[in-house]
Amino acid sequence: MSQLRLLASRLGAQASRLLAPRDVQRFSWCSRSSGPRATFPSSKGGGSSSYVEEMYSAWLENPQSVHKSWDSFFRKVSEEPSCGPPRPQSPSGVPESRSAVSSRTKTNKLVEDHLAVQSLIRAYQIRGHHVAQLDPLGILDADLDSFIPSDLITTIDKLAFYDLREADLDKEFQLPTTTFIGGSEHTLSLREIIRRLESTYCQHIGLEFMFINDVEQCQWIRQKFETPGVMQFSSEEKRTLLARLVRSMRFEDFLARKWSSEKRFGLEGCEVMIPALKTIIDKSSEMGIENVILGMPHRGRLNVLANVIRKDLEQIFCQFDPKLEAADEGSGDVKYHLGMYHERINRVTNKNITLSLVANPSHLEAVDPVVQGKTKAEQFYRGDSQGRKVMSILVHGDAAFAGQGVVYETFHLSDLPSYTTNGTVHVVVNNQVCYRRRGHNEMDEPMFTQPLMYKQIHKQVPVLKKYADKLIAEGTVTLQEFEEEIAKYDRICEEAYGRSKDKKILHIKHWLDSPWPGFFNVDGEPKSMTCPPTGVPEDVLTHIGNVASSVPLEDFKIHTGLSRILRGREDMTKKRTADWALAEYMAFGSLLKEGIHVRLSGQDVERGTFSHRHHVLHDQEVDRRTCVPMNHLWPDQAPYTVCNSSLSEYGVLGFELGYAMASPNALVLWEAQFGDFHNMAQCIIDQFISTGQAKWVRHNGIVLLLPHGMEGMGPEHSSARPERFLQMSNDDSDAYPAFSEDFEVRQLYDCNWIVVNCSTPASYFHVLRRQILLPFRKPLIIFSPKSLLRHPEAKSSFDQMVSGTSFQRVIPEDGAPARAPEQVRRLIFCTGKVYYDLVKERSSQGLEEQVAITRLEQISPFPFDLIKQEAEKYPGAELVWCQEEHKNMGYYDYINPRFMTILSRARPIWYVGRDPAAAPATGNRNTHLVSLRKFLDTAFNLRAFEGRTF
């Protein structure tokens, strides 16, 4: 406390120095209420040392000159025996009387005591949570240790920390504007101040918020918790809370009685979460929210589905029937991972509200960015730029919330313009505040490792009984009413259980979290099995090319280097050709013309990692002035969003996946900076993208752009790991398909995702447009180029993109070998960039008539029909698969058994490429070139496989 006194004296001295030069200084003060201001003069040379002293001096001269709260306060102080009112200060230069000195001493003490009380209030706001009663079991201290801050008044002797005494407890103190414990009162006794602070900060809610550097936010929190009576409920609110607790707890009890040996990850020990979520939704609906999107782990999910989303109970109960047959194709998922979408009337507000619980795997926090992306999309389509209509709620476990990095990645998106959802309600189920009555799950025996804890848990009185007893004791409800509420809900469960026995078939589509009304037929099937041509009229291509090579805004100065790029686009448009960047522009632009929203997201996508895209132009003379020409194509076009993300893969890919869930009428793309980095988002790829439809009957058309290619850039800037995507593809390598008229589209419908490696800009153009024109949605994995972006041969004519043209799954040899196939000695199959290496090498060796080269643009699902045609076209040729990746990577392990199926194992498909390796690429430029030279030599050595058997 000595430091506090020193601070007070220094402040007083400083105030005197500041006031001394002025003849008359006017002071004004206004309380936290809207009361009138009071002003008073301070004489030269006799300025008071502090604000309170000034107020006191003014009051002594005229009690009416200060606010009535100060008048009341000083009257109470004056009435105390130890603190009589001091006399006015004597004129300057005249020695003060003994009574005047005594008055000044008392005034200083008054100031110091007020500063001490302000410090005490702040101490509770900062550290009160350390002594909050957060452990319902009584076996742990708050924060898991026994630390008790020395500046909290846990015992009377602690008053000495502030140089206060027990006698001060009944003195009145003026409250600072940084607290709301007074309500409408401006002064309180020290005893009452401590009591109210303890009631706010040291009971069963711990508040840790003073680290927030936004004063307005801190004040909001203080007001919501400190205001007297703020935690008091009306009788009706108490009865509603009791009814919701009945449903929450009796639901768990019912499941435990009926399926005692089944895992369900129940909510026992935290049943209050259900009324908490319902109250959040009620309040949100009251404030205008129309759509709430929830994400949560499996603990309590069935209860949330039943009592928050209001899923039919019989559909939940039938999930426990082991004889239930699945009506939908795919694997399905365990009941406590499933999601749900429901539109209903909120009973409290009588307003329509849509609730969506997003399906989630066992990876606890993986759903966080998915929920945010879906929320952002719903806001976007509604024009809800402030988040007034759509909001999200995320439920977390305490350990996962602290330990899973994707939580931070998701928070990191919250202030980025194209990612913010304007706030999320986070509900953390804290196992130091709540507890798990049954351990990790119902089959777990927690006494093995936590015997003392679970002895205490078994003694706990359930929260429903505690609360019911309280309300009965205070007369809010009667025992009969309580028992009737229980009987009513038990009867609802029993009736639903009876109906559930009649269900013989499980429809996973009834658990869909993101339906697309009108996109599929009433049975959830595609309306057709056809895809129209993906080309567009030439005038559309030309118009897009002209806009792409211009600056639509006036007086907009672009970089000189960018001017050269735009002139290059203009030249290509005149010559009716397109490189990779221009073909992408034309694909996006033509979809925008057709009303399809396009969103491209990722690290540095606005410019493009390889400085090829430049979809956002920057004025070189006006800071932050930008132009997106793509949004200036047509007056009534759909909007185009291109946005640089944070330096995150897991969080951002999850976000874009969620965004793509909201509507089928949008092309949503995520581009990795390099394809190698997608493994930072492997969880989203494995648990959501690859398996989402099989587990949850959820279609999704997200596009992954993964720059890929062996170019001597080292092991982390070369490979998008195509082998991993192909290994997870679900087409059967040994099943010879029946070729039909709709084989191409049906094969796409049956697959879990589409994997392509385009070798031409036209292929890229068509596959992007096909993604939208298909009558269903599948994830699309594109191994996109790097060096091909500027390769002089990697250009496409408008003839390959105009109306009537389509995506070619296989691009066959169209040169001399195709005209004389009987003379061809070797047919090389390949995909992607290596095609250009092969063509160049074939020309240098003069083998244009003896070696044919065929490209696979679509690798999965495997184009069995077209590969069969190519193989049969060259019956006398050796078949070779050539790839630039290492043998244990890339495509060979995927294509080899499928070739064997096509060829009935009568002919081999020889491998040409780099040898097996642990790393995907070398970091040594010379080693890279030597290995390239080696496999190119083998590819065109027509005797390389003589004498070898397969």
Per-residue pLDDT at 274 exceeds 90: yes
What pLDDT, on the 0 to 100 scale, is given for residue 97?
57
Residue 491's alpha-carbon distances to 134, 487, 690, 870, in angstroms, are 35, 6, 42, 67
Nearest one of 700, 702, 256 to 493, comparing CA atoms = 256
Neighbour-count burial for 502-527, b at 16+ CB within 10 Å, e otherwise: ebeebebebbbbbeeeebbeeebebe
Q: Can you name the residues that pair with 882 across neighbouring β-strands?
A: 912
| Model confidence, pTM | 0.87
Q: Give the gyration radius of the chain's Cα atoms.
A: 37
- Give the closest residue to 672 by CA, choosing from 753, 608, 586, 740: 608
How confident is the model over 727-735, as a mean pLDDT? 95
What is d(CA 294, CA 344) in angstroms, rounded to the nearest whole number?
15
SS3 782: strand
Strands 851-856 and 858-860: unpaired
**In the predicted model, what is the mean pLDDT of residues 441-466?**
86
Q: Match 């502090």 to its residue by tokens.
A: 50
More reliable by pLDDT, 506 or 1 = 506
- 26 vs 456, higher pLDDT: 456
Q: Is the pLDDT of residue 35 over 60?
A: no
CB-CB contact of 788 with 833 (8 Å): yes
Q: Which residue has the higher pLDDT, 503 or 846?
A: 846
SS3 state at 479: helix
Longest Cα–Cα distance of the chain, Å, equals 125
Rounded to an integer, the average pLDDT of 314-322 is: 88
Cα separation, 877 vs 841, in Å, equals 19
Which neighbouring-strand residues pair with 343? Answer: 354
The amino acid at residue 387 is: G
Asked if pLDDT for residue 268 goes beyond 60, the answer is: yes
What is the DSSP annotation of 308-341?
II---HHHHHGGG-TTPEE-SSS----GGG--EE
Q: Is the pLDDT of residue 38 over 80?
A: no
Q: Are strands 878-886 and 826-830 parallel, antiparallel or unpaired?
A: parallel
Q: Best-predicted range by mean pLDDT among 34-38, 79-83, 173-177?
A: 173-177
Laid out side by side, the sheet with 703-707 consists of 640-644, 597-602, 666-671, 703-707, 780-784, 754-756, 858-860
Q: What pLDDT, on a 0 to 100 scale, did the predictor assign at position 331?
A: 74
Phi, psi of 226, rounded to the nearest 5 degrees? -90, -30
Give the DSSP letter of residue 231: T
Q: For 627-650, write each residue's pLDDT tens digit.
A: 999 999 999 999 999 999 999 999
Name, in order, each residue with C-beta under 8 angstroms of 942's C-beta and a sequence gap of 6 or more: 825, 826, 847, 850, 851, 878
Find, among 323, 325, 404, 322, the residue nearest to 361 by Cα: 404
27: helix, coil or strand? strand
How many angstroms separate the CA atoms of 402 and 407, rounded? 8
Residue 47's pLDDT is what?
Answer: 38
Write down the mean pLDDT value for the chain. Answer: 89
Residue 23 has pLDDT above 70, yes or no: no
For 323-342, what is the mean pLDDT?
Answer: 78
The pLDDT of 581-587, averaged and rounded, is 98
Q: What SS3 class is residue 600?
A: strand
Tell me which residue of 582, 591, 662 sits closest to 615, measured CA to CA. 582
Say what the pLDDT of residue 79 is. Answer: 62
> Does position 148 have pLDDT exceeding 90, yes or no?
no
Partner residues linked to 670 by β-bridges: 601, 704
Sorted by sequence, the CB contacts under 8 Å of residue 212 that are 6+ apart come out as 218, 221
Report residue 288 as tokens.
């205008």
Bin 556: left if φ > 0, else alpha if -120 < ψ < 50, else beta. beta
Mean pLDDT of 712-718: 94
Q: Given a cut of 60, is residue 255 above it in pLDDT?
A: yes
pLDDT at 86 > cutoff 70? no
Q: Tell me the CB-side half-sphere exposure of residue 339, using CA atoms within 13 A.
A: 28
Band the pLDDT of 99: cuts 50, 70, 90: low
Please give the share of the chain, as a percent, with pLDDT higher than 70. 90
Average pLDDT of span 517-528: 90
**CA–CA–CA angle 829, 831, 836 (5° rounding):** 95
pLDDT recorded at residue 265? 86
End-to-end alpha-carbon separation of the chain, Å?
A: 89
Which whole-number Å values give the CA distances from 50 to 42, 168, 854, in the listed order?
12, 21, 89
Rounded-to-integer distance, Cα 841 and Cα 850, Å:
13
Omega before 861 cis (within 30°)? yes
Residue 688: DSSP 8-state: I
- Predicted local distance difference test score (pLDDT) of residue 508: 74
| Comparison of pLDDT for 8 and 99, the residue scoring more | 99
- pLDDT given for residue 630 in this prediction: 97
Q: Kindly report the three-state secondary structure assignment for every residue of 374-416.
A: HHHHHHHHHCCCCCCCEEEEEEEEHHHHHHCHHHHHHHHCCCC
| Predicted pLDDT at 96 | 52
**Please, what's the b/e burial string for 195-231 (b: 16 or more CB within 10 A of its CB; e: otherwise)?**
ebbbebbbeeebbeeeeeeeeeebeeebeebbbeeee
Asked if residue 136 has pLDDT above 50, the reply is yes
* Most confident residue range from 94-98, 110-114, 431-435, 865-869: 865-869
Which tens digit of pLDDT belongs to each residue from 834-872? Answer: 999 999 999 999 999 999 999 999 999 999 999 999 999
Give the pairing of strands 617-618 and 626-627.
antiparallel
Check residues 569 and 18 and name the one with the higher pLDDT.
Answer: 569
Sign, Cα dihedral of 382, 386, 391, 394: positive
